[in-house]
Amino acid sequence: MRLCRFEASQGEPRIGWLVDDSSLVDLTAAGFQSLESLLASDDCTERLAQITKWPLPKLALANVRLLVPVDRQEVWAAGVTYMRSKKARMDESEFSATAYDRVYDAERPELFFKSLAEKVVPTGEPVGIRQDARWSVPEPELALVLNSRGKIVGYTIGNDMSSRDIEGENLLYLPQAKIYSGSCALGPWVQLGITESAAREWKIRLKILRQGQAVFSGETSVGQIKRRFDELAQFLFRSQSFPHGAVLLTGTGVVPPDTFTLQEGDLVEIEVSGIGLLRNPVMIV
């Protein structure tokens, strides 16, 4: 079951249930104003199964604009959860290599704040590369959608845009390397009702196009993530509450070669096999 936020003819954001690959049912007509309220209940899929028997308006996906699949949820991210990410980061910075090496094996994961909901970029809109960065990359990541009790209720696709030269210069610059305009994209929708073991079978694919030609493609499997999803979620909710729920990116396992940097006008495509495609052009911010 897939849920989205959408806008039809410049109106207020609405909640949609994708009934197939080309149409959605308008759940706002059934009284649902936010994804947050729908996802708040642990039995959300059963409730939806009841609601969707009602005669609700149906729209063509081609006639709506998809919005970010978050209302007020904070977005956080886990780091160094794949061996590939640990190696890339140890190569990127001799100065910080020990920190990455240690956190990969430590009990406590690396978790960092990534974005307020209102700053997240939806599919189709530009993600940013910093004008003061020399080495910028997308990070294709599976994102856990958590309700206010920390329960994983769904999954979406995330792009944790990063300035690797700024991060590599000094680990204390991590917030500047990770948080800036257009640095977080999420979408296109939330996939519900999937167990962790099913999600671990999914593939994550990254393709970067420049003037229509692929300049990088790579893939990984969600199963390569070192930590369990509930372990990551529990650490996020330790000593912190999220009254609106939260989204947690689970780290990257696809890293372009060190000679590669994004340019304005590139197109970033991230596909997660069980969810869909998140596609964003790149602009300098």
Which residues of the chain form contacts with ligand DO4 (CB under 6 A)?
A: 77, 79-80, 85, 89, 110, 139, 160, 174, 251-252
DSSP count for the chain of H helices, then E strands: 8, 18
Stated as kind and residue range, the H or E segment containing 18 is strand 14-18
Q: Which residue is nearest to Mg ion (CB)?
A: 160
Closer to ligand DO4 by CB, 79 or 245: give it: 79
> Which of 96, 220, 252, 280 is close enough to bind Mg ion by CB under 5 A?
252
How many C-beta atoms surround the C-beta of residue 152 within 10 A?
Answer: 18
Q: Which does 110 bind (CB under 5 to 8 A by kind): ligand DO4, Mg ion, none?
A: ligand DO4
Q: Which does 115 bind (CB under 5 to 8 A by kind): Mg ion, ligand DO4, none?
A: none
Question: Does 160 sit near Mg ion (CB under 5 A)?
Answer: yes
Q: Which does 80 bind (CB under 5 to 8 A by kind): Mg ion, ligand DO4, none?
A: ligand DO4
Calculate the alpha carbon distances from 103 to 39, 61, 77 in Å.
31, 42, 14
Closer to ligand DO4 by CB, 160 or 271: give it: 160
Neighbouring residues of 95: CB distance < 8 A, sequence distance ≥ 6: 168, 169, 170, 171
How many C-beta atoms surround the C-beta of residue 180 within 10 A?
Answer: 21
CB of 81 to ligand DO4, least distance (A): 6
199 burial type by CB count under 10 A (0-12 exposed, 13-18 middle, 19+ buried): buried
Binding site for Mg ion (CB under 5 A): 139, 160, 252
